[in-house]
Every structure is written in C-alpha cells, then in structure tokens.
C-alpha cells in the first residue's frame, strides 16, 4: 500500500475546485482532474496523508474501492459485496454509510444506504458469523457511495468528518463562514505572499474570527488539521500509523518555528493581525476560538464599531507605512428591510477604506453584489463563489484614488408594470404563485376589509421561489423585490419575478398601470429608473382615522411604514392631552395619530426637509393647523444633546445605520442605542413612556445598561396579521421610569 498508487476524489465547496487544484500542485506537485465540487488524482498513501493534514480547502478525501454500472438495488448490493471488507475493517469496528444519488429503481438515499450496509454486514456474517455495528455517532469507518448517471462509486472516507472542522471553532458567531471557505478567500487574496512581505491582516467585522485564525495559520505555517483528534483512516486496517506520526511531528515542528517567527515579526512592527466587531459577546467567542487554535499571541481582537475604524500603523518588510489586506464578510441582509439598513454600512466601509487605508488591498465577500457597489471603489477582480448554497462574490480592490467612484442610488429600478414587457418562462410556476396570492387574498383581504384598512401586505416571500413583498394601497399594488441572494442564478430569479408580475393584475383585480415594481438591482434599457412628478403621483390613503399622502413611485419607501400600524394605533389611543415627541419622524405618520388621539402639543424632528414638508402636508390633510405642532429640521442626535423641554410620550424609531453627510458622526443603532435612550429619557416626564423601535433583526437591547428603567418588550403586540410571516420585521419596547415601592 505504501508504494501503490491509490485513486482519490477530494471534495470542496462549490466554486473552489481550482483553488484546491492549485493546493494539490503546491503540496504534492501532482496534476488533477477537476470535477464539479472537487478534484480527482492518484497518489501513494503517505502523499494522501500529507494532503489530508495540510489541505486548507478540502472537505472530504475519498479513497475509491470499487466502481461499476448500477441500475438496480441488487446490482448495488452485489457491487458492495464484491469488496473484501475484512481487508479494510474488523467486525469490532463501527461503521456508517453516506449515500448520494439515485436511479429509476433506487430513488431514495436512505434505501440506498441500507442496501450498502446490508451488503457489508452480510459479508461479515457469511464469513465469520458475526457482523459490525452501525452508528452515526463517531463511527470508526465511514463508507461513501455516490450513484450518478448509472455508475456507482464505493469509497472509504479517509477524512472522517469534514476537514473544514479544524477543532478550534466549537463556538460560532452570527452566520459564520466555514473554515475552509475562509482559507480559500485568503488564498484568492494571495495572503501567503502578502504575509511574507510583512503585510497586516485586518477584519473590521470579524465575528468569531474565522478569517483571522485561518490567516494566522497560513502565516505561522500551521497545518489546518493539526488539532483534529479523529480521522477516517485511524481505525482502517491498512492505516500506516508510523508514517502518520512522522507527518504530525513534522507539522508540530513547522508550527512552533512559524509561530516564533511570526511573533518576532510582529514585535518588529509588521504582520499585525487585527479584528473588530461591534458585538462584545461575539468578540468573546472570537477570543476563545483564537485561544483554542494556539494563536493568542498572534491575533488581536476588540469590540469596535465600523464607524470608529482607524488605519493601522504597521510596517511591512520593505518599511512601507500601513500596508496590508482588509478582508471581511459583512452582513448582506436576507430581507428587504435588512438590505435597506445595510446600505449605510457598506457606504461607511467604503468611506473608511478611502480615508484610512489608501495603498492597501481590500477584499469584500458578500452575497449581495448591489450592496458591494455601495462601497464606492472599483474592483479589479470578482470571484463567483458560494457561501453554503448562497451565490456570493469576492470583490477584490486596490485602494487607490484612481479606483474611487461615487455610488448612485438612482440606478435602482422603479417602474410601472404597464411599462414592462412581461415574459412568462414557466406558466405552471406562475399559476402556483397565483394560487398562493388567491389564498392570501381570501384570508388577509377579508381581515383588512373587516379592520377597515386600505393599506396592507398581501404577500411576503411566502414561497422561496418568489422573493417579493406585495402591498395593497387602496386600488394600487406596490411590489418590492427582496435583494437577498437566493440559491438560484440571476436569470432564474428574473424569470420568476416576471412570472409573478404576470398574474398580479388579474388576481388582485387592478389594472397593470396601477402596479408599481421596485427592484433592488441595476437595470438596463427601458426598465431603467424614471423620475415622475411627485405631486402628480401622490395618492391619499386612510389608516385608523388618519389620512396620509403616499407616493408609490418616486421613492424607495412610500411615506408610510405599514408594519408600524399597531404602534401608531397605540399612540393614538394613549396620547390624549399629552406632549408628544417624534424623533426620526420621517413623514410624521406617528405624529398624525398622536394629534388624532388628542395630543396637546407635538414636536417632530428629522434631518430631511422633504420629509418634514411631507409631514406638514399630512397634518393639513387631516384638518389640523401647525399651531402647537412643530416640525424641526435637525440631526436628531445633536438635537437630543441640546433639548431640555419635557414630553409625556416619545416615539424613537432610528435607522439601523447612518453616515449621512448632514449628520455629525455616524449612527450605529446597536452601539448607540443606550446613549440615545438615556438622552431621550432625560426629556420624559416621570409618568411618561418612551416607545423605542428598531428594524435591526439581530438587535439586542442592553438590559444591564438600561436596568434603571422599566423595560417592557411589546414586540409581539405590535405585529399585525399581515406581518405574522415576518414577525422580526421590527422590535419594540415601552420604556418608563421605575415606580418606587413603599413596601
């Protein structure tokens, strides 16, 4: 076996086949046949061991045992039975079977796995009268069978569990990327060469520090599988333990030497590895992962918001100032509201690159290329990859002034359905969407009519194939395409959008010229954004006794956030005689309800004169004068610092993230909410209530820092029937001063 060539197939994440091929060439100087999601090559056992230990990109290493044409369960059984299993395992070993693929007669993977297992245990029973046991919990031997196009390949899984599991990440942050994907991103960025030149590695949104740990392992010459306790070949009868131990000893030596060298370079001012995250609990996870990887002295992580990011004062081996690679995997939103709130985050990242990291390399891994464009830097290369099943891209950037570009929000498509040419690629799929829409109309339509609502959500990405939000505004329909990446390509997504649009007018009984579509992607040709006269396109809608101007065409948002309807209703019911403050007031919808409910005075604050004028028009539309109702143009954060008057009710619904040039500083709701709430509470009367809301899905209220107040989470009561499918569209609290107990 030592000097015999063995055939192996090594699997990897989709899109990384050529990274894996290059890795094979560097490790073993061998050529490979590149296949979908993997490579095939021949090697001797010591070489395979080396590849298992040192591959940073591989998932599984499968040693081929037999291959044959298979169409029936009997043929599958016979193929597996023909292998001499006693040369690979003993009856005392436990095993498990992974089966994939199907044929006309084998159309169930569980059935296929059972037939493979039966053949193995029957052979043992026939030959020695005993059989091995099957277990999924840490089996000694893992058998892999793939059936494709009538051919079955039986293999021994030499890796055991997937090689992406290095052993250091027993905890994970929010939506972490897998370790081998992180390593592949670094390889695409040519990090090994940059590291040799003394470059720094920075991840400003590091999460559980996967990119930093993988980068440090490359820099310190640490074998990615060095800390793993189990491999699929350790209980294999043909395992060469002496060869394996020599490879492990060599890897330990290389790591110790590489670690000393890296620490010495960092002491001299180069090769800094630094990470930040706004969430302190995630940084705690990151520190634990770094410690388990044995890299405590190499990587530095700390709690810091992106808006506070500064350049690193480090030196390369050529004594260049601040030279390095900024590599990060920022959030990219899986729902429309998330995407909208993240635009400022990506823009802030671009601003920081331009102001703090000129001369650096940058690489942004995102599942939303439109958000990637918000960075405002021209890329020189984009790699199409997958994060799990989600299509993603690695955007490569040289941070140089000639690559600075302005972002243009007006390139987003906002057009009337009547101006589109609709092409139905799959009528059956379109009919499926129509049926779901009719079903929703029967329930939600009846509920809206009973509740006397003119505006409500009729469909909210109920079916993964049709990722849309569909809102009814009286006799108009407002359609928004969610920009979250889906496990379908762009053409397929476009086809499904067209299919959905083809049935909307008929099902909802509205003419095509009263259906508005907003797409969160760049368009070409006749579907390009067209500006319309705002006054002419406005319409009036009624909500619980209040009238509002809405504009479905000229803005990303319509002037009325439908999900806050129950919040506004509560304000109306509880504002009689109160002084009401509306911060980040937008078009003043909450203010209208407070005035309708009998508020004595109101103050509405926003930075946009356009929205404030809109709010004033809403006030007039409802028959109220501006007497006693102020609309103040100001940066709300700055206004809070200067205000001293008291209010009985305050509505605080800030954006998730904002770095508007008209603001002083940057607003980050997770970082800034405690300070913002404390300042707002200083304006609240003792018996008053602050209504605080946010649409950040991963938001965590800092209960400890706000423990001096009474905090009542009312989120569930603020979600109406039309948003039940999207119950995390916002979170809401009533915050009051605690009452003293006399007991």
Strand 151-157 to 6-11 pairing: unpaired
- Tally of residues, the chain: 743
- What does the pLDDT read at residue 280? 86
CATH number belonging to domain 179-227+240-409: 3.40.50.150
The hierarchical CATH code for the domain 410-549 is 3.30.750.80
129's tokens: 């009268």
Secondary structure letter of residue 404 according to DSSP: B
HSE-up of residue 477 (Cα within 13 Å, Cβ side): 27
The CA distance from 676 to 655, in Å, is: 12
Classify 84 as helix, strand or coil: coil
Q: Which two tokens stand for residue 449?
A: 């009519």
pLDDT tens-digit series, residues 492-536: 778 888 899 999 999 999 998 889 887 654 333 333 333 333 444
Report CA dihedral (436, 437, 439, 441) to the nearest 10 degrees. 170
Are 236 and 88 in contact by the 8 Å Cβ rule? The answer is: yes
List the beta bridge partners of residue 471: 457, 478
**Nearest to 520, CA basis, from 470, 485, 551:** 485
Take residue 418 and report the two structure tokens written for it. Answer: 């009547």
One CATH from 3.40.50.150, 3.40.50.300, 2.130.10.10, 3.90.650.10 for 561-743: 3.40.50.150
CATH of domain 6-157: 3.30.2130.30
* Residue-level pLDDT at 445: 92
Pairing of strands 455-460, 647-652: unpaired
pLDDT in tens, 361-371: 999 999 888 88
Query: Residue for token digits 């810091």?
Result: 304
Q: Do domains 179-227+240-409 and 561-743 have the same CATH topology?
A: yes
The first and second tokens of residue 416, run together, are 């009337």
CA angle 223, 226, 229 (to 5 degrees): 155
- What are the residue ranges in the chain where pLDDT is below 50? 315-317, 319-320, 335-337, 409-414, 484-486, 521-536, 743
| Whether the Cβ atoms of residue 497 and residue 481 lie closer than 8 Å to each other | yes
Q: How far apart (Å, rounded) are the C-alpha atoms in residues 39 and 178?
A: 19
* Residue ranges per structural domain of the chain: 6-157, 179-227+240-409, 410-549, 561-743
Cα separation, 380 vs 394, whole angstroms: 11
Six-digit token pair at 165?
A: 């599991």
pLDDT digits (tens, 9 = 90+) for 451-484: 999 999 999 988 888 888 999 999 999 998 875 4
C-alpha to C-alpha distance for 379 and 386, rounded to whole angstroms: 19
Rg of the Cα trace of the chain?
30
Residue 36 burial (C-beta neighbours within 10 Å; 0-12, 13-18, 19+): exposed
Vertex 302: Cα angle to 297 and 308 (nearest 5): 135
């Amino acid at each position: 076996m030592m000097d015999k060539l063995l055939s192996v197939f090594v699997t990897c994440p989709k899109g990384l086949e050529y990274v894996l091929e290059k890795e094979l060439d560097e490790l073993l100087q061998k050529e490979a046949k590149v296949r979908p999601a993997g490579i095939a090559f021949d090697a001797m056992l010591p070489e395979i061991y080396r590849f298992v230990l040192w591959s940073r990109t591989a998932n599984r290493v499968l040693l081929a045992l037999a291959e044959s044409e298979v169409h029936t369960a009997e043929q599958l059984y016979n193929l597996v039975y023909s292998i001499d299993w006693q040369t690979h395992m003993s009856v005392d070993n436990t095993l498990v079977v992974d089966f994939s693929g199907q044929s006309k007669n084998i159309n169930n993977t569980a059935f296929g796995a059972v037939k493979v297992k039966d053949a193995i245990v029957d052979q043992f029973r026939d030959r020695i009268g005993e059989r091995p046991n099957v277990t999924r919990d840490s089996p000694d031997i893992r058998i892999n069978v793939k059936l494709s196009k009538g051919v079955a390949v039986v293999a021994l899984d030499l890796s055991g569990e997937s090689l992406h599991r290095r052993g250091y990440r027993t905890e994970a942050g929010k939506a972490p990327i897998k370790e081998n994907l992180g390593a592949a991103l670094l390889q695409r960025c040519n990090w090994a060469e940059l590291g040799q030149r003394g470059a720094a590695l920075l991840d400003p949104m590091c999460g559980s520090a996967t990119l930093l740990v993988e980068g440090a392992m490359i820099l310190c010459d640490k074998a990615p599988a060095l800390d793993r306790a189990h491999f699929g070949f350790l209980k294999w009868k043909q395992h060469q333990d002496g060869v394996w131990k020599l490879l492990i000893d060599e890897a330990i030596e290389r790591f110790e030497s590489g670690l000393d060298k890296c620490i010495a370079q960092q002491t001299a001012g180069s090769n800094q590895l630094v990470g930040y995250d706004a969430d302190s609990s995630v940084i705690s996870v990151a520190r634990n992962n770094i410690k388990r990887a044995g890299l405590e002295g190499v990587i530095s992580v700390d709690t810091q918001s992106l808006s506070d990011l500064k350049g690193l004062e480090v030196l390369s081996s050529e004594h260049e100032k601040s030279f390095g690679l900024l590599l990060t995997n920022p959030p990219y939103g899986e729902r429309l509201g998330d995407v909208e709130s993240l635009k400022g985050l990506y823009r802030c990242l671009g601003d920081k690159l331009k102001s703090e990291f000129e001369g650096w390399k940058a690489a942004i891994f995102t599942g939303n290329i439109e958000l990637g464009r918000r960075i405002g830097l021209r890329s020189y290369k984009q790699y199409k990859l997958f994060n799990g099943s989600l299509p993603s891209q690695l955007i490569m950037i040289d941070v140089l002034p000639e690559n600075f570009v302005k972002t243009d929000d007006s390139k987003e498509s906002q057009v009337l359905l009547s101006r589109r040419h609709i092409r139905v690629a799959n009528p059956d799929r379109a009919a499926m969407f129509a049926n779901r829409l009719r079903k929703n109309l029967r329930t939600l339509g009846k509920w809206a009519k009973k509740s006397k609502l003119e505006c409500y959500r009729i469909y909210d990405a109920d079916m993964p194939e049709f990722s849309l939000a569909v809102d009814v505004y009286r006799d108009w329909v407002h359609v928004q395409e969610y920009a979250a990446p889906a496990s379908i390509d762009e053409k397929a997504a476009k086809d499904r959008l067209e299919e959905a649009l083809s049935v909307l007018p008929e099902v909802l009984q509205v003419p095509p010229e009263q259906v508005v579509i907003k797409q969160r992607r760049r368009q070409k040709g006749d579907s390009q954004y067209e500006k319309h006269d705002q006054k002419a396109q406005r319409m009036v809608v009624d909500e619980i006794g209040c009238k509002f101007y809405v504009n479905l065409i000229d803005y990303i948002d319509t002037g009325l956030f439908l999900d806050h309807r129950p919040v506004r209703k509560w304000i109306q019911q509880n504002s009689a005689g109160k002084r009401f403050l509306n911060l980040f007031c937008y078009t003043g919808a909450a203010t209208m309800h407070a005035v309708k409910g009998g508020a004595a005075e109101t103050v509405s604050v926003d930075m946009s004169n356009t929205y404030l004028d809109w709010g004033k028009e809403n006030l007039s539309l409802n028959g109220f004068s501006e007497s006693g109702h102020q609309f103040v143009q100001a940066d709300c954060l700055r206004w809070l610092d200067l205000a001293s008057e008291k209010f009985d009710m305050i509505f605080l619904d800030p954006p998730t993230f904002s770095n508007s040039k008209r603001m002083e500083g940057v607003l980050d709701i997770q970082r800034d909410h405690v300070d913002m709430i404390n300042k707002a509470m200083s304006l609240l009367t003792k018996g008053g209530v602050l209504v605080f809301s946010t649409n950040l899905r991963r938001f965590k209220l800092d209960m400890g820092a706000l423990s001096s107040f009474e905090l009542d989470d009312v989120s569930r009561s603020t979600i109406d029937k039309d948003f039940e499918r999207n119950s995390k569209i916002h979170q809401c609290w009533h915050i009051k001063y605690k009452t003293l107990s006399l007991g």
